[in-house]
Every structure is written in structure tokens, then in C-alpha cells.
Amino acid sequence: MTTLAPALPLLRIGPHTVQPPVVLAPMAGITNAPFRTLCREFSGGKGLFVSEMITTRALVERNEKTMQLIHFDASETTRSIQLYGVDPVTVGKAVRMIVDEDLADHIDLNFGCPVPKVTRKGGGSALPYKRPLLRAILREAVAQAGDLPVTIKMRKGIDDDHTTYLDAGRIAVEEGVTAVALHGRTTAQHYGGTADWDAIARLKEHVPEIPVLGNGDIWSADDALRMMRETGCDGVVVGRGCLGRPWLFGDLVSAFEGTGTRQAPVLRQVADVMLRHATLLGEWIGDESRGVIDFRKHVAWYLKGFAVGSDMRRKLAVTSSLEELGAQLQELDLDQPWPDGADGPRGRTSGNNRVALPDGWLKDPYDCAGVSADAELDTSGG
């Protein structure tokens, strides 16, 4: 176990102090209000918890589902929304709407989505390759944001031969962006291989004017401290490590505060959190059964490494009421200790895909013709 020797400088995102400097990564379909609430309960309210990605067009059009996704719990004091858009005007309108209607306290812009359906149209992590378009989006967002801080989250680039993060970081500084987060992978890597923390260090050197947040492969609180130490970054963004493990935020706070407390819940405690998560989802959706159905995607993450048996896993993955879920959990050997195999990577780990791009995309980083508006339609994240 490691401790950080000197006191860490405060992470400031505009008017917001994030102490310890720990951010829940936006994850589409995951980081909704119930999941953020769970993570915050474990962190004692410390840290910053970003919403799922919201597409700007859907927000401007007041799409019903989108309006639900931007709902924050009353206990969320720094309301953090992640937006994704490809058109400067629409992004600007979405930001203006957030400001005018007091919908959030912080806006993060997503430039990290590797999904082929999106990059094929020049969106997601393909977009920063077109420097002028990135600049135009950031300029419009910052102009419309007024006092709200605007941050960006991005990948290293399209592939190792077409990295974009240093230019994007510089453009972000020039356009008044408050902080940048870097996931140390290229689009081509998707979620495979290991995140390049050296790139985070290089970005920190390149844009000393603003906080740099490091992201990628933080599976434990000690990983977070190590990333801070090795890269000099100002804060960490934690994604897959907390899937089925929201108490990681408790560990992160302990680690940054210099105590050795790390949680290793027995299965009974995990089962309690599972039930609570499913309950919160049902309350949020306004329908218990739909909440439990939405919860199904989390089951395998919560049970990772525990001796549960494939039949039971299958049963748990098709439950549709809290009573059924509770009864099935009771059938497990709930005294099982936290398994060794549950630490380490979880969630998506596939990688090395060929990157789908519009024809001729890489010919000229300054030619911005051809980003189609439907690069915004997919909502599967970063």
C-alpha cells in the first residue's frame, strides 16, 4: 500500500473544489443518478460524479428520455453533466439551455467515444483530428457557458500515428476550457491493452495552465495514487474499476486522505449494495420492475470472483422484482469473503479494432467538411 507524502494541491474545476481529486468517469447506461448516489454515499460526498453522456441534439429537442437522464438527486451539490455533440451551434444551444434553466453546475464535453458507428461519421474520438472543428465547438461551448466551467474528456488520438491529445489540450487552453481529462488510449485500442500513463504526463507538461485529469486502468485506490505520482496529473477519473464496486470511492477517499482503509466486503454486504442499487434504479425510473431489469447489467460485475455458480448467475440475470432479487441473493453463501479474483480489470477490455472513419478523414486535419450530424445519434459512450 502506498501513501502520498506531501499534501496534494487542491483540484479546482472553476468555482468547485474537488477534494480529494477523484472523479467518477461518465459511463453511458451506468452513471445515472442512482449509481452516482451509491458512489457518493461511499465517498462521504467527496469527489465529483459526472452524469452519463447526453447528446446535445436530444437535449435541445427535449427528448423525453434525455430529460430524465439529466435529472440529479437533490443531494448532488455539484451537478455535473457530460455533453456530446458534433455541431458547434447545437452544442452552444445545449450549453445555453443548461445555463438558462439551471440544469447543472459543470459541463464536460465528450471527445472520447470509439464506437465505429460514431467515428465512421467523424464523431466521438475521431473529431479532435479536425482541429478547427474542435476549436469551434469549444469556443461556442465556453461562450455560452457563462460562469459554468467547461471541461473536456478525450482519448490520445485515433491511433499511434495520429495522436491528437497535445493539440487538443492546447486548443482547450486557448479556448478557455477549465480542465482536460485524458483516457490514455487511442480509438484503435478501444478498451484493450493498457492505458498509456506517459501520455498523461506529457499532456500535463504541455498544458500546465489548467488541471489535467488522468484516466485509464485505475482498478484500486493505490492505482490512483500511483497515477498521480507517476504522471503529475491533478486528479483521477475512475470508470470501470467501480463497476459493481461503488465502495471503491470510499477506498479512494481513504487513500488520498492517507489512511490504509480498503474495503473488502463479504458477499452479504455486496448483496445489500446490490439490492440498494436496484431499489434506487426503480425509484429513479418510477417503476420497480424496470429498475430491477436495468440492474441486471450490473449483476455479473457485483458477483465477479465470488463462487456463485452459473445457474444462479443466470437466474439473477433475469430477475424482474426486488422480492425475487432479494430471495435469490439469500440463496447464496453470503459469508464468502471478498475474493482475490475480484480485484483488477473488470468491464469492457476488448481492443485493437480497425478504426472506422469517413473517407479521406486523415488526409487533412484542417479540412472539416463531412462531419455528419448523425454522428451524434449513438449514445454508447466513450
Ligand X SMILES: Cc1cc2nc3c(=O)[nH]c(=O)nc-3n(C[C@H](O)[C@H](O)[C@H](O)COP(=O)(O)O)c2cc1C
Residue corresponding to grid cell 445519434? 377
For the CB of residue 143, give the shortest distance to ligand X in the complex, in Å. Answer: 22
Q: Tell the smallest beta-carbon distance from residue 82 to ligand X (Å).
A: 6
If binding is defined by CB under 6 A, does position 112 make contact with ligand X?
A: yes
DSSP strands (E only) in the chain:
11-13, 16-18, 22-24, 48-55, 80-84, 106-111, 150-157, 179-186, 212-215, 235-238
Strand-pairing partners, residue 157, are 163, 186
Closest approach of ligand X to the CB of residue 368, in Å: 22
Helix, strand or coil for residue 123?
coil
Q: Smallest distance from the beta carbon of 217 to ligand X, in angstroms?
A: 5
Residue 215 found at the interface with ligand X (CB under 6 A): yes
Q: By CB under 6 A, is residue 156 in contact with ligand X?
A: no
Q: Which is nearer to ligand X, 123 or 216 (CB)?
A: 216
| Dist CA 128 CA 122 (whole Å) | 9
Nearer to ligand X, 26 or 291 (CB): 26
Question: Between residue 311 and residue 350, which ones bind ligand X under the rule CB under 6 A?
Answer: 347-348
Taking the least distance from each CB to ligand X, the nearer of 182 and 329 is: 182
CB 185 within 8 A of CB 191: yes
Residues 240-279 that bind ligand X (CB under 6 A): 240-241
The widest CA-to-CA distance across the chain, in whole angstroms, is: 61
Nearer to ligand X, 98 or 218 (CB): 218
Task: Read off the DSSP letter of residue 339.
Answer: P
Does 91 sit near ligand X (CB under 6 A)?
A: no
For residue 182, state whether it binds ligand X (rule: CB under 6 A).
no
* Interface with ligand X, residue 122, by CB under 6 A: no
Query: 113 catalytic, yes or no?
Result: yes
Catalytic residue among 113, 233, 242, 368: 113
Q: Is 238 in the site for ligand X (CB under 6 A)?
A: yes
Q: Which of 80, 107, 104 is nearest to 24 (CA)?
A: 80
- CA atoms of 377 and 345, how far apart (whole Å): 29
- 82 binds ligand X per the rule CB under 6 A: yes
Q: Could you give the CA distance from residue 159 to residue 335 in angstroms, rounded to a whole number?
A: 46
Is 53 a binding residue for ligand X by CB under 6 A? The answer is yes
Alpha carbons 44 and 52: distance in angstroms, whole number: 21
Three-class SS of residue 268? helix
Contact 224, 20 (CB under 8 A): no
The piece of 26-34, 270-278, 281-289, 309-317 that touches ligand X (CB under 6 A) is 26-34
Catalytic residues: 113
Binding site for ligand X (CB under 6 A): 25-28, 30, 52-53, 82, 110, 112, 153, 183, 215-218, 238-241, 347-348, 381-382
